[in-house]
Amino acid sequence: MSSSKNVILVTGGTGLVGAAIDYVTQHEPVGSRYGKFAEDDQWVFLSSKDGDLRDLAQTMAIFDKYEPTHVIHLAALVGGLFKNMKYKLTFLRDNLLINDNVLWASKEHGVKKVISCLSTCVFPDKVSYPIDESHVHLGPPHSSNFGYAHGKRLVDVYNHAYNEEFGCNFTAAIPTNIFGPHDNYDLEDSHVIPGLVHKCYLAKKNNTPFTVSGSGTPLRQFIYSRDLAKLFIWQLKEYPEIDPIILSVGEEDEITIKQVAESIVKAVGFQGEVTWDSSKADGQYKKTASNSKLRKYLPDFEFTPFDVALQESVDWFVQNYDKARTGAAAKKQ
């Protein structure tokens, strides 16, 4: 292997964000701000079939095999509000193990730069708005997902400790809620957009009501996976800090779950009844994040309009229903 060649290992490379990074490396011009470093880059998109990153020996074997120069670390136990509420210890433990192993293997293998993926769930529940990068450790996270949140939050502590003790260039991205092609479209254990897209698709197919969970009042910022993928590549190539950076649309683009449901109805072309199951949890009311740090670095970055990105995601889902991650419950409907 040539010593000047970049080998970029993407853990969790088969998931929502990994598939979007794969797409962007194939579609953005090489050497552009959001494209590959060079034509001869080797991008490796890992799945759990390549090894279980909760296990140090398997993680080290992957790093021995590929000798990465750069790592985009996406692999995680991931789920929406309802899965997080059910499996708090598993979310904490699996994510701690994965993060510990990937960062240790990166240090041991002399990786030049690692970007780990956090989430706005890491921020404190009781916080001043808008949330910014300085708030990560200022109080306990929301009770609905404290396992996941602590598992992720500690990555920022690791990044500073690796930097101060070993000089490692490890940093993190903090995206808001993400959606796009290749998402997990499970009916129960998914995030709100893929879960509702699937439910609306079935309601249209079966001529039944489309039922949305909770009150519809919570607020969220959504980023399209392919926009996020461009930002990850920019961050890998240009971002100079150990401190994390929030990757998000602006505060003005925050929308309610009710607006999300209405947009999904439109994108799916559903004309039946919409009902609300208010017995289901709302989770955190809002986690409004500031993207002013991102805007300082990239004032001109253009986000895909929400309705355009949602239509692309719905079209992908409809066209790929048989191979999409739809979960066991869907097979019966």
Establish if 283 lies at the interface with ligand NAP (CB under 6 A): no
| Closest residue to ligand NAP: CB criterion | 15
Establish if 15 lies at the interface with ligand GDP (CB under 6 A): no
To the query of whether residue 34 is one of the catalytic residues in this protein, the response is no
Location of structure tokens 């929502």:
16
Nearer to ligand NAP, 23 or 272 (CB): 23
**Alpha-carbon distance 70 to 17, whole Å?**
17
**Alpha-carbon distance 225 to 178, whole Å?**
6
Nearer to ligand GDP, 168 or 314 (CB): 314
Tokens of 90: 């598993």
Give, to the nearest 10 degrees, the angle between helix 192-206 and helix 257-268.
40
Nearer to ligand NAP, 52 or 300 (CB): 52
Which DSSP helix (H) or strand (E) runs through 258?
helix 257-268
Q: Select the residue interacting with ligand GDP from 130, 181, 214, 244 (CB under 6 A).
A: 214
Beta bridge partners of 275: 211
Nearer to ligand NAP, 6 or 119 (CB): 119
Q: Select the residue interacting with ligand NAP from 17, 21, 122, 136 (CB under 6 A).
A: 17
How many Cβ atoms sit within 10 Å of the Cβ of residue 139? 11
**Subset of 145-204 contacting ligand NAP (CB under 6 A):** 175, 177-178, 184, 191
**Alpha-carbon distance 142 to 220, whole Å?**
15
**Alpha-carbon distance 276 to 127, whole Å?**
29
**Subset of 133-192 contacting ligand GDP (CB under 6 A):** 177, 190-192
Going by the DSSP 8-state scheme, the letter that residue 81 receives in this structure is: H
Contact indicator for 116, 159 with CB cutoff of 8 Å: yes
Q: Select the residue interacting with ligand GDP from 213, 248, 291, 313 (CB under 6 A).
A: 213
User: Which residues are identified as catalytic?
Assistant: 148
Binding site for ligand GDP (CB under 6 A): 80-82, 121, 177, 190-192, 195-196, 199, 212-214, 218, 220, 257, 280-284
Binding site for ligand NAP (CB under 6 A): 12-18, 47-49, 52-54, 74-78, 98, 117, 119, 175, 177-178, 184, 191
